[in-house]
Structure 1
Amino acid sequence: MTSTHIDVSAIDLDELDAWMDEQGLPPGPITGVTPVPGGTQNVMVRLERGGRPYILRRPPQHARRKSNEVLRREARVLAALHDTPVPAPTLVAAQTAREPVFYLMDPVDGFNPSTGLPEPHASDPAIRHRMGLEAAAALAELGRVDPEVLPGFGRPEGFLERQVPRWLKELDSYGELDGYPGPDIPGLSETAGWLTRNLPRAFVPGVMHGDYHFANLMFATDSPRVAAIVDWEMCTIGDPLVDLGWLLAMWPAGNDHVPGLPEPREIIAYYAALSERDLSAIDWYAVMACFKLGIVLEGTHARAFAGKAPRDIGDLLHATTLGLFERAQEFVHGALN
């Protein structure tokens, strides 16, 4: 998603206007250009032209090394999902031939629960409970998509076997940061060993979102239905049960944002009823999610030692990492059974 600190004047509206003409979109002046609040990785703005609203997504003005390639992938994913039942933003047109890469999509009529609940969701516990089940249902729908809609996307062969070495290597790389004393994470080696010993024997490759949790879901304003899964920049072809594990690992503790959500066991049972995938090793996927996310967050802690991130943020995320590894041990000891 995008930063709230966007200089919309950095967008060349004349160039955008000409490109929209080339795409055969309804003519007229571009108006109402306003930032869409969200994350920090890419720019997202709302605009109107010819009586039609759009969301424009493009790299930040000072693009990161992979910003343009990420948006190429996102546009390709949204195009591939267009004719599937998966709730995703509708791609209108994409400019991927030159940089900066950008694309237009239809606005989603929905809200993100991490920013608050509208009515009737706020006062109806049945709707809030159903929201959790709908999150599982949308994920099951994604897991049914034929990965051939994205030929050559990702490397499913050996996908699970690569995970533990990949993230341990990432953790080791933090040692290159000045001042970082190394990871002080109780249970790190035990968790890595358990994951290696209990690796699922096989999986059916499918389309993975890669970062599936409540902050990347938009819900319909008048029902518990998932209106759209957003932020597809981590999408790949791999094991879709990794997404389910990620959802479980990041399930709101104490249901802070959305009180009354189903318990994780109910989420698993609901997903299982909608999917033919083998969930007998679901604890492995939940542990793997805690392991990966904990290591990712530890990177900010390491950068804080090197003066490349605020120390208070680094400390906060380190505490989150410790909590994730504690949660991993709960999953190891049967919390989902």
Structure 2
Amino acid sequence: MTTTPAHIDVSAIDFDVLGVWMDAEGLPEGPFENARPVLGGTQNVMVAFERGGVPYVLRRPPLHVRAKSNEVLRREARVLAALEGTGVPAPRLVAAQTADEPVFYLMEPVDGFNATTGLPEPHASDPAMRQRMGLEAAVALAALGRVSPDVLPGFGRPEGFLERQVPRWTSELESYGRLEGYPGPEIPLLRETAEWLERNRPRAFTPGVMHGDYHVANLMFSHAGPWVAAIVDWEMCTIGDPLLDLGWLVATWPSSQLQVPGLPAAEELLDCYAELSERDLSSVDWYVVMACFKLGIVLEGTHARACAGKAPKDIGDLLHQTTLDLFARAQTWISR
């Protein structure tokens, strides 16, 4: 017999139905205990609980399902299953329900912390620990870059991946013009940056598994040391060029959410990655500039919506400034 904890929104999680499904999966039986929401930066619903003495985290789409919510979770579950045993630090998938909607899956809880919400001891008072944390972000990314794309057959579109990048994000930026009140992208050197990217695009790359949004806020670090306990939020995962993940890490480093002394410089991240990877980093500047270009355009979308009254003005202004900062950073890498 299952019980539904009173402090959890029963419209989000039907624990009786969940219990029947878990029984059919051969998972430990018993009442649900200590159910509580897991807070994070995603709109998906995450709930932690114990059953039969075993802890779990359930992830499902939001109550107001978006067009691709269920497909995103199907992809995530597939990715987590494929990564098991590869050496990549990621949440361990326990079981997934992907045939019906809403799609959901169970994973083991991660024993770790998000550095953007604060540092525990000994990390907070040990400069050497913080230095190594930054390098371990590159170590975990290098491990992902070594995974064969064969673990995810038919996943993504690696053919023409790099060729699609500038047109894809230029088109995204142009689409904001349909929002009434948006004056257009007032971004210095926007066209010049796009042209530089097209002229200097790497001619070839080795396809691999990409996280797609690799930055410090999507990492959980071990309480026991500087290591990455898990890379989380695999919504953007695809088969593409893993060096764009490296560019993304450098473009967002150090994160404005993680302004603590003792972190390694971006060049140290690159050196660490290079020592652990056989990938050709001779065009790494291109990947950093491409990451700045893409992320800047993504953030400009919120500014455009704010101009149209569809997002808070202060958030729109803040993200527009972040876009300007990213394009300025791109120029620094172009001129290196």
- Give the alignment's TM-score, normalised by structure 2: 0.96
Report if the CA contact (8 A) 1:92-1:106 is conserved. Answer: yes
Structure 2 match to 1:147? 149
User: How far apart, CA to CA, are the structure 2 residues paired with 1:176 and 1:29?
Assistant: 52
Report if the CA contact (8 A) 2:300-2:323 is conserved. Answer: yes
Structure 2 match to 1:279? 281
Q: Tell me by how many angstroms 1:255 deviates.
A: 8.6
Q: Tell me by how many angstroms 1:8 deviates.
A: 2.5
User: How far apart, CA to CA, are the structure 2 residues paired with 1:319 and 1:127?
Assistant: 32
Q: Tell me by how many angstroms 1:261 deviates.
A: 1.0
Change (3 A) 1:254 1:301: closer
Structure 2 match to 1:247? 249
Report if the CA contact (8 A) 2:134-2:263 is conserved. Answer: yes
Structure 2 match to 1:62? 64
What pairs with 1:227-242 in structure 2 (closer than 5 Å)?
A: 227-242=229-244
Alignment-mate amino acid for residue 254 of structure 2:
P
Q: Tell me by how many angstroms 1:187 deviates.
A: 1.2
User: How far apart, CA to CA, are the structure 2 residues paired with 1:32 and 1:50?
Assistant: 12
3-state SS, counterpart of residue 9 of structure 1: coil
User: How far apart, CA to CA, are the structure 1 residues paired with 2:300 and 2:257?
Assistant: 24
Q: Tell me by how many angstroms 1:254 deviates.
A: 7.9
Q: Tell me by how many angstroms 1:248 deviates.
A: 0.1
Alignment-mate amino acid for residue 120 of structure 2:
P
Report if the CA contact (8 A) 1:160-1:199 is conserved. Answer: yes
Whether 2:31 is the aligned partner of 1:29: answer: yes
3-state SS, counterpart of residue 259 of structure 1: coil
User: How far apart, CA to CA, are the structure 2 residues paired with 1:210 and 1:232?
Assistant: 8
User: How far apart, CA to CA, are the structure 1 residues paired with 2:253 and 2:205?
Assistant: 24
Whether 2:10 is the aligned partner of 1:9: answer: yes
What pairs with 1:107-256 in structure 2 (closer than 5 Å)?
A: 107-252=109-254, 256=258
User: How far apart, CA to CA, are the structure 1 residues paired with 2:301 and 2:189?
Assistant: 17
Report if the CA contact (8 A) 2:116-2:257 is conserved. Answer: no
- Seq. identity, %: 74
Alignment-mate amino acid for residue 186 of structure 1:
P
Report if the CA contact (8 A) 2:37-2:47 is conserved. Answer: yes
Q: Tell me by how many angstroms 1:41 deviates.
A: 2.3
User: How far apart, CA to CA, are the structure 2 residues paired with 1:321 and 1:120?
Assistant: 35
- Paired residues in the alignment total 329
Q: Tell me by how many angstroms 1:312 deviates.
A: 1.0
What pairs with 1:255-266 in structure 2 (closer than 5 Å)?
A: 256-266=258-268
Unpaired segments ≥5 residues, structure 2: 1-6
Whether 2:105 is the aligned partner of 1:98: answer: no
- Give the alignment's TM-score, normalised by structure 1: 0.96
Cα RMSD of the aligned pairs, angstroms, is 1.2
